[in-house]
Amino acid sequence: MIKAAVVGGSGYIGGEIVRLLSRHPRISLEAITSRQLAGQKVADAHPFLRGYVDLTFSESVDGQGLDVVFLATPHGASMNLVPGLMRSGAKVIDLSGDYRLKDPQEYKRWYGHEHTDPENLGRAVYGMNELYWDEIREADLVANPGCYPTCSTLGLAPLFANHLVEGGVIIDAKSGTSGAGAEPTKATHHPNCGASVTPYKVGTHRHTPEIAQNLTRLQGRLAEVVFTPHLIPVVRGMLCTMYLRLNEDLTKQELLGVYTEFFRRKRFVRLTEVPWMQAVVGSNHCDVGLEVVGPRKVVVMSAIDNLVKGGAGQAVQNCNAMFGMPEEMGLDFPGLGV
Amino acid sequence: MIKAAVVGGSGYIGGEIVRLLSRHPRISLEAITSRQLAGQKVADAHPFLRGYVDLTFSESVDGQGLDVVFLATPHGASMNLVPGLMRSGAKVIDLSGDYRLKDPQEYKRWYGHEHTDPENLGRAVYGMNELYWDEIREADLVANPGCYPTCSTLGLAPLFANHLVEGGVIIDAKSGTSGAGAEPTKATHHPNCGASVTPYKVGTHRHTPEIAQNLTRLQGRLAEVVFTPHLIPVVRGMLCTMYLRLNEDLTKQELLGVYTEFFRRKRFVRLTEVPWMQAVVGSNHCDVGLEVVGPRKVVVMSAIDNLVKGGAGQAVQNCNAMFGMPEEMGLDFPGLGV
Amino acid sequence: MIKAAVVGGSGYIGGEIVRLLSRHPRISLEAITSRQLAGQKVADAHPFLRGYVDLTFSESVDGQGLDVVFLATPHGASMNLVPGLMRSGAKVIDLSGDYRLKDPQEYKRWYGHEHTDPENLGRAVYGMNELYWDEIREADLVANPGCYPTCSTLGLAPLFANHLVEGGVIIDAKSGTSGAGAEPTKATHHPNCGASVTPYKVGTHRHTPEIAQNLTRLQGRLAEVVFTPHLIPVVRGMLCTMYLRLNEDLTKQELLGVYTEFFRRKRFVRLTEVPWMQAVVGSNHCDVGLEVVGPRKVVVMSAIDNLVKGGAGQAVQNCNAMFGMPEEMGLDFPGLGV
Amino acid sequence: MIKAAVVGGSGYIGGEIVRLLSRHPRISLEAITSRQLAGQKVADAHPFLRGYVDLTFSESVDGQGLDVVFLATPHGASMNLVPGLMRSGAKVIDLSGDYRLKDPQEYKRWYGHEHTDPENLGRAVYGMNELYWDEIREADLVANPGCYPTCSTLGLAPLFANHLVEGGVIIDAKSGTSGAGAEPTKATHHPNCGASVTPYKVGTHRHTPEIAQNLTRLQGRLAEVVFTPHLIPVVRGMLCTMYLRLNEDLTKQELLGVYTEFFRRKRFVRLTEVPWMQAVVGSNHCDVGLEVVGPRKVVVMSAIDNLVKGGAGQAVQNCNAMFGMPEEMGLDFPGLGV
């Protein structure tokens, strides 16, 4: 068994990793940390886990005796933990934004503080599983992608990787409220958001440079991204509606051929007509559809469960890669549908 | 014009009073207070009021030059303000729980601290408008009922006033999240409540003794109440489903006759089959329906908008009574339906 | 009093017109028709109207003795009724799509059948109230705009009217489910839509040519529109997030100046930071905000209540224009907020 | 491998059985029927199953070559299929109401038509798994309980089985809309139910006699049940709030002792404080809590996923019993939490 710990287990992403690992046939969960809740039963903080996890929150872990550590810690906290954990010999999967942007200047610009661990930043592999499986297999440190970058990049990758896009892309994203985390805020107070769709951080969301970096890498030249996230009155689920112009005139059929070829043998990406959010909720799937709506004008739509494929599920999928397991191990179940 | 002020205007109930008064033909809004937001535009805190209210939050009001003050202040705060306001000559409508329970011992038991203004507690008239219009007309101080007591008492009053109930009543209440107020909490964090119905304060909610006091007064002997509130994933609206046993065998038709007679000329209470919450949302109406489900067994259902009839609307209705205006002035509009 | 009738009063838009007219100080509601429900009480079909409307559904009206007829009839049905009603001397406000597209060929292309009343199509005035008040004042027949065209056009008008846009516009729209009408469908079945955001009619929605016609007229040259509507799990409310490129480099401040100037004295359009859907729900307001998110790249956001400003409210506002009343008569109330 | 078929696979319960069986390690799904969709891919009707189920809907199955048939057919249809299937030698798990009420007269009274298969009605074992495991192990025909009876009976069983209840019980139940099935109706049209809680079939729901039968059997004397179901704006999940009087004075602690003892080794029932619906959604768990709210007055609360423990999950659990497998096989995963 692979010995794992989750650091920052009191939040939604932390709880979700625990939920998935509790059923993983080849990973054993050795420790779950939370500074705030140290000493309490994990299942008291996450009542859905009662009967599945008997652990008590620890104060911290140092990596000794562990094969892998999942960091479900806030931006800024992860880069304080990674160097020590790396020295212990454990592999690390970081779910914060600390190791995603390759350029420390970009990091500083979007996250507001210096990057203090540029060495590991250089070593970190970006864990967009469907795109970089081979690199991830060799990695000791994986930067697990953000939820919006996962959903949008998977929807756009076949077009950008095949150099089919002229100009930039507009991404109108809609996220369930669990993406905002476990801390109550004015924005996620039910009376404020329960009967509304609300744009937020228009033009300033930190996932913007991450998406741009992904698309730039795929097409080999700078990709321009306009990205507007919205909070929707749904707990789980994310939909990206994306607008772009092709540099040649392709039919929907031809484009679907490009997608089919690109995602061959990637079982978690499914092509569909219009993606239905509830079809992926509870699963690690990303459902993608597209329409040609005018001459060279394309609308791409992609849907994920923001906590699974957009976080904990992809982290487990990356862990599977890092330890030579099949990608679907512990993740091999469909979404809930209704 | 009647000169009014709202104390505690930053919360949901305060904002709702302002919303209603902004359209009232005979009340002019002179001041709105908020300690936290003093100096800011009211319409910045309540963007739906832009174009309707030009006032800036004041620090406080002392009642001078005012005809009436609406207190949308927390329990405990109102009783510090009432004595001074009463001395100024302004009439007061208090929307907190401070003047609802007639027995100071009950108050202490349920609210956890001594009542410091027993004198005004004795003078306060309970503002259940449909029941006590004549008293309210003469009152200088009105204790505006709680949302749950309003919804449940209106549904039950005809039966208790006519001495038709044997034993107590069970009230299973469902409230929209706006009833919890403007402060973000764990319970109202969308990911926790947006896909659930959750019972809370089972057996311990402060509205229990208020409901019991209402029913006891109506039937002239002690009424036993079991009351379970639930939070539902709806912003506005409240439904009470209530279970009781009659002391004689009456048909649904006979019971509807009792209700029709009881609410004659009370235009805000409407008899219906099964109440539909959306039919009252946005309005001051209470819709009531009932079924006989077994020998002498009755289920009564009542629905209100928790912020209007359950708070601000009833306060305006009480103000109308206190100043000799028709009850529907400023409140004469239907609910939204869909 | 102006004598009005509503044709097609059993649906949501019909019910909403009745709701608004029931409180209008200078319009009296003489008849409400519904073929299906003829002979039944209107308030039985629309329980929120109990106590406000005593009428019974009629089979039909012929315009005799009426000043104005609101047609809340389906596309295709309106153009069978308009010629007769016009001959009776009544003014007509049609809420279907039949008289919106000026080009009968466009109508045929998008609605799938010939336009049978080209004469009145030529006379019909497009009732985008904030843009064409003076024309509407003189009109006998007003084509009331669609909900999406209202929300998007109001958000974009200042930019297109001032010739500030380079290229086309992308409109990502989110609508509450009441926009789909009163007839149950698979798409609006709660289990299918209650925990999802779903794009529909991607590239093929009939409001696309209407929006394009509006923007083309405003800027005086062909406007290209990509429009994707989404169904959101909200009953009322609509948000449009719109993406475009300016043809010169303007700051947010300068753009807000353009908007302020454009909407001077238009009280139902309010400029805000990020529009909050709940601030307009229940009202006739359109709240508009914008951000500059890159060099000449602008995101405009606008929100309305789809049944009020997006339908019945704008129809009443148009009626006010047609009969020389102030635009806000019967519509002068704020949204619900929470 | 156990060879299974699902009859009536196009609905929500049918789809859910398929979803669960698709991951069951010892059951292979041989056929899924739907008269309407015969010849179509199952995954086209249930897009969440894409990649998990390759079958095409069949017209029907006759039981030949099958070990077990799950009937997700409507009331009335099942009893036409059961006799033939039983003769084929296949075991049958019927999820309709046809074999739940032991008394054919009761069946006729509540379902409105004669029972045509009284012979098998006599043989059918009621599949309340936690209560009748030993009988279910021996059964050839299992009547899978209704969702409301499952949720309420599990919450009440320890009290009734221990003869602790005086008088009857009041059950106020709240169900997600998926319980209403896949067919669009007025009641489940999002604009009608998306911002409301609505009581329905007050005093007349068919699950009432089933619950009464369960409690009567447990306590050995007639149990009186008042049952009011409500539709809530949630897709999945059910909560029952239940009110009763004890016949002796027991503390909460003593009652919890009774529950703990009763559910010893029943891993799908978990005792908790106040059940949180989201903690069980997606799982086969039933979470139960209780409060003593007055002298001998108890409120019991229980929560399930209406499609899993309230339908498909319990059916699989029953199948596990019938074929000598551990109860949790294929069901051994926690709920989603947020």
pLDDT tens digits, one per residue of A280-337 = 999 999 999 999 999 999 999 999 999 999 999 999 999 999 999 999 999 999 999 9
A266-274, long-range: CB < 8 A, 24+ apart: A266/A130, A267/A327, A267/A328, A267/D51, A268/A129, A268/A130, A268/A309, A268/A317, A268/A327, A268/A328, A268/A331, A269/A130, A269/A154, A270/D50, A270/D51, A272/D47, A272/D50, A274/A301, A274/C198, A274/C199, A274/C200, A274/C202
Residue A307: list chain D partners with CB under 8 A.
Answer: 338
The per-residue pLDDT of chain A, averaged, comes to 98
Residue B203: list chain D partners with CB under 8 A.
Answer: 291-294, 299
pLDDT band at residue A184 using 50, 70 and 90 as cut-offs: very high
On the CB side of A5, CA atoms within 13 Å amount to: 25
pLDDT score for A21:
98
Residue in D178, D186, D195 nearest the CB of C191: D178
B10, B41, B48, B52: best to mutate for the C interface, most C CBs within 10 A: B48
Q: pLDDT tens digit string along B36-85?
A: 999 999 999 999 999 999 999 999 999 999 999 999 999 999 999 999 99
For chain D, what is the largest distance between any 2 Cα atoms, rounded to a whole number of angstroms?
A: 61
pLDDT in single tens digits along all 338 residues of chain C: 999 999 999 999 999 999 999 999 999 999 999 999 999 999 999 999 999 999 999 999 999 999 999 999 999 999 999 999 999 999 999 999 999 999 999 999 999 999 999 999 999 999 999 999 999 999 999 999 999 999 999 999 999 999 999 999 999 999 999 999 999 999 999 999 999 999 999 999 999 999 999 999 999 999 999 999 999 999 999 999 999 999 999 999 999 999 999 999 999 999 999 999 999 999 999 999 999 999 999 999 999 999 999 999 999 999 999 999 999 999 999 999 99
Is D218 in contact with D258 (CB distance < 8 Å)?
Answer: no
Give CA–CA dist A38/D227, Å, rounded: 43
Is B279 in contact with B337 (CB distance < 8 Å)?
Answer: yes
Tell me the shortest Cα–Cα distance from C185 to chain D, in angstroms. Answer: 6
Q: What's CA C76's distance to the chain center, in Å?
A: 18
Q: Residue B104: what residue type?
A: P
User: Which residues are within 8 A (CB) of B203 and not within 5 positions of it... i.e. 6 or more apart?
Assistant: B226, B227, B228, D291, D292, D293, D294, D299
Contact yes or no for C195 and A235 at CB 8 A: yes
* Touching chains, B (3+ CB pairs < 8 A): A, C, D
CA D149 vs CA A85, A110, B114, B208, D283: distances in Å: 52, 54, 46, 29, 18
Give CA–CA dist C322/C137, Å, rounded: 4
Give CA–CA dist C13/C96, Å, rounded: 10
DSSP B177-196: GGGG-SS--TTTBHHHHTT-
Could you tell me the fold of the domain covering A2-123? Answer: Rossmann fold (3.40.50)
SS3 per-residue string spanning D202-242: CCCCCHHHHHHHHHHHHHCCCCCEEEEEEECCCCCCEEEEE
Structure tokens at D317: 């659990």
Place of tokens 């019993």: D321
Q: What is the CA radius of gyration of chain B?
A: 19
User: Which chain D residue shows the shortest CA-CA distance from A280?
Assistant: D48
**DSSP designation for D335:** -
Give CA–CA dist A319/A322, Å, rounded: 5
Q: pLDDT tens digit string along A40-65?
A: 999 999 999 999 999 999 999 999 99
Tell me the shortest Cα–Cα distance from C123 to chain D, in angstroms. Answer: 35
pLDDT score for B60:
96
Contact yes or no for B278 and D195 at CB 8 A: yes
Q: Give the pLDDT mean for B80-96.
A: 98
Q: What's CA B300's distance to the chain center, in Å?
A: 19
Place of tokens 């996220």: A175
Tell me the shortest Cα–Cα distance from D47 to chain A, in angstroms. Answer: 6
Give CA–CA dist D317/D129, Å, rounded: 7
A175, A183, A336: best to mutate for the D interface, most D CBs within 10 A: A336
Q: Does domain C148-306 have CATH number 2.60.40.680?
A: no
Contact yes or no for C191 and D185 at CB 8 A: no
Q: Tell me which residues of chain B have a C-beta less than 8 Å from any C-beta of chain C.
A: 12, 15-16, 19, 22-23, 46-52, 178, 182, 195, 235-236, 267, 270, 272, 276, 278-280, 282-283, 285, 287, 307, 332-338
Contact yes or no for D191 and C180 at CB 8 A: yes
Please state the domain extents for chain C.
2-123, 148-306
Is B322 in contact with B139 (CB distance < 8 Å)?
Answer: yes
In 10 A of CB B134, how many CB atoms?
9
pLDDT score for C167:
95
The per-residue pLDDT of chain D, averaged, comes to 98
For chain B, what is the largest distance between any 2 Cα atoms, rounded to a whole number of angstroms?
A: 61
Which residues on adjacent β-strands are paired with residue B2?
B27
Q: What is the CA radius of gyration of chain A?
A: 19
Residue in B196, B200, B277 nearest the CB of D197: B277
Q: pLDDT tens digit string along B190-202?
A: 999 999 999 999 9
Name the pairing type of β-strands A2-7 and A68-71. parallel
pLDDT score for D6:
98
User: Which residues are within 8 A (CB) of A270 and not within 5 positions of it... i.e. 6 or more apart?
Assistant: A285, A286, A287, A288, D50, D51
Question: Which of B147, B151, B240, B286 is the catalytic position?
Answer: B147
Residue D278: list chain A partners with CB under 8 A.
Answer: 48, 235
pLDDT score for B31:
98
Residue in D195, D279, D332 nearest the CB of A47: D279
**Sheet containing C141-143, strands listed edge to edge, beginning at the edge strand earlier in sequence:** C27-33, C2-7, C68-71, C91-94, C141-143, C125-126
Give CA–CA dist B50/B47, Å, rounded: 5
Residues in chain D: 338
Across D87-221, the runs of DSSP E, i.e. the strands, are: 91-94, 125-126, 141-143, 165-175, 198-199
Q: What is the CA radius of gyration of chain D?
A: 19
Tell me the shortest Cα–Cα distance from B180 to chain A, in angstroms. Answer: 9
Q: Tell me which residues of chain B have a C-beta less than 8 Å from any C-beta of chain A.
A: 12, 176-178, 180, 182-186, 188-191, 193-195, 233-235
Q: pLDDT tens digit string along B143-188?
A: 999 999 999 999 999 999 999 999 999 999 999 999 999 999 999 9
C196, C222, C230, C277: best to mutate for the A interface, most A CBs within 10 A: C196
Is A310 in contact with A302 (CB distance < 8 Å)?
Answer: no
Residue C280: list chain A partners with CB under 8 A.
Answer: none
Place of tokens 């029932």: D269
- Residue % of chain B over a pLDDT of 70: 100
Tell me the shortest Cα–Cα distance from B282 to chain D, in angstroms. Answer: 12
In 10 A of CB B186, how many CB atoms?
10
Give CA–CA dist C131/C154, Å, rounded: 9
Residues in chain A: 338
pLDDT score for C25:
97
Helix (H) or strand (E) holding D161: helix D147-161
Instruction: Identify which of A66, A93, A88 has the alpha carbon closest to the alpha carbon of residue A78.
Output: A93
Give CA–CA dist C219/C168, Å, rounded: 11
- Residue % of chain A over a pLDDT of 90: 100
Residue B333: list chain C partners with CB under 8 A.
Answer: 23, 52, 333
Task: For chain B, count helices (H), then strands (E).
Answer: 12, 14
Helix (H) or strand (E) holding A79: helix A78-87
Q: Give the pLDDT mean for D68-90.
A: 97
Q: Residue C273: what residue type?
A: E
Q: Residue A233: what residue type?
A: P
Place of tokens 């880069």: A79
Contact yes or no for C299 and A203 at CB 8 A: yes
Q: What's CA B40's distance to the chain center, in Å?
A: 28
Contact yes or no for D307 and A338 at CB 8 A: yes
Residue in A48, A178, A270 nearest the CB of D334: A48
Respond yes or no: is residue D319 known to be catalytic: no
Q: Answer left, alpha or beta for residue A9, where phi above 0 means left and psi between -120 and 50 means alpha.
A: alpha
Q: Give the pLDDT mean for D117-139.
A: 98
Residue C194: list chain D partners with CB under 8 A.
Answer: 177, 190, 194, 233-235
CA D293 vs CA B173, B204, B223, D279, D281: distances in Å: 15, 8, 15, 24, 28
For chain A, what is the largest distance between any 2 Cα atoms, rounded to a whole number of angstroms?
A: 61
Is D306 in contact with D178 (CB distance < 8 Å)?
Answer: yes
**DSSP designation for D46:** S
Place of tokens 């928790």: B306
Tell me the shortest Cα–Cα distance from C50 to chain A, in angstroms. Answer: 25
Instruction: Identify which of A282, A326, A271, A338 has the alpha carbon closest to the alpha carbon of residue A305.
Output: A282
Residue in D15, D267, D276 nearest the CB of A51: D267
Instruction: Identify which of B182, B297, B306, B191 has the alpha carbon closest to the alpha carbon of residue B240.
Output: B306
pLDDT score for D291:
98
CA B225 vs CA B160, B167, B176, C97: distances in Å: 12, 9, 22, 55
Structure tokens at B33: 């207070």
Instruction: Identify which of C154, C119, C113 has the alpha carbon closest to the alpha carbon of residue C140.
Output: C119
Is A303 in contact with A150 (CB distance < 8 Å)?
Answer: no
Structure tokens at A50: 């009662």
Residue in C172, C276, C293 nearest the CB of A196: C276
